[in-house]
Structure formats: structure tokens, C-alpha cells
Amino acid sequence: ANTRVIPRIEQLADDHQDQLAIVWIDATVESKLASDFQVSQLPQFTMLVDAAIKRSLIGYGENSQEQLDQLVNTYLNP
């Protein structure tokens, strides 16, 4: 999954660099943070707006690129 996830995340960061901050967390190391964000499966993408959790996308499968784009665009282009 990483070979598809990482390039897409990097592209999102480039495409929306003035609107979006992407933070990478190693949930296996940052267990307290993972617990705070209720990480149950990896990868997990969590959208926060004004420090509030809005929505998460868990896992990365066949349709995940479109789902990830939709997650981002929902909050960047309301």
C-alpha cells in the first residue's frame, strides 16, 4: 500500500500547499496520539479543521485515491 499511498499524499501536499498541512505520524511509536485519534487500522487519514476531527479514511484500497481526494476536497472546497 505504501507505494501507492505515499506518492498520492505527496501530490496532495504539493497541490494544496497553501491550504493544507499534512502531518505524518508513526502510530506504532506514537501510541498516545494514535489512541487520541482512535487509530484502529493503518493507514488512517484524519481530516482536522480548526483542531476538530471531521472525518477519517481508514485503509487504502482500490478506490481509496478517489475517496482521499473527496475527503480533502470536501473541506478545502465547501
Per-residue model confidence (pLDDT) at position 78: 64
Domains of the chain, residue spans:
2-76
Nearest to 53 by CA among 65, 62, 61, 44: 44
Render 58-74 in DSSP notation, one character per residue: ES--TTHHHHHHHHHHH
pLDDT digits (tens, 9 = 90+) for 49-67: 888 999 999 988 888 889 9
Helices (H), the chain: 2-15, 31-36, 64-76
pLDDT digits (tens, 9 = 90+) for 12-47: 999 999 999 999 899 999 999 999 999 999 999 999
pLDDT band, very low/low/confident/very high, at 11 (cuts 50, 70, 90): very high
- Say if residues 24 and 38 touch (Cβ distance below 8 Å): no
- Say if residues 56 and 68 touch (Cβ distance below 8 Å): no
Task: State which fold the 2-76 domain adopts.
Answer: Glutaredoxin (3.40.30)
Give the predicted TM-score (pTM) of the model. Answer: 0.77
